[in-house]
Structure 1
Amino acid sequence: MEHIYLPEPTENIWKKCAEEFENRWGFPNCIGSVDGKHVTIKRPNNSGSNYWCYLHKYSIVLMTIVGPDYKFICVDIGGFGKNSIFET
């Protein structure tokens, strides 16, 4: 079902997104809007610090790209909580 509801992006999809971002929102050369979220989880057994994040909790990372109409283009679910740009 994933290929029906979230097909793999093609060059045509990216071009259409870029065109719609420019027409609708005035952002030229934009192919998507990226956002991420740490989803709090219970620490998995024997996981060490892989899921511990800068927010001082255990989490997995949800990363998404949406198009100009707020519909998902790509999702990545399940990255370790420690994988963060804010990590020091």
Structure 2
Amino acid sequence: MKHYKHIIVKPIAGAIGADIENVDISKPLSDDELSEIRTAFLDHLVICIRGQTLQPKSQLAFARHFGTPMIYPFVKGLDQYPEITPVI
């Protein structure tokens, strides 16, 4: 298991998935924190960062660290943020 300096990564179960703790993604993150989150995603394929309170603008800012958010053509996104598709 990899050692992370800035975040805590806890595998969820089986071959994929991990919880990431000790990070507040509503605030600006250092390059090292973003690198560790990216590494955890590549290692575990699915990550969950629980307990976050994000406004749509902050959610998009975080997502842009990993690529360009896309508008999903088959489900309507939020009115002012069409890249964000609500999951109910």
Q: Same fold (TM over 0.5)?
A: no
Q: Which structure is higher in helix share?
A: 2
Greater relative contact order (Cα < 8 A, sep 6+): 1
Which has more radius of gyration?
A: 1
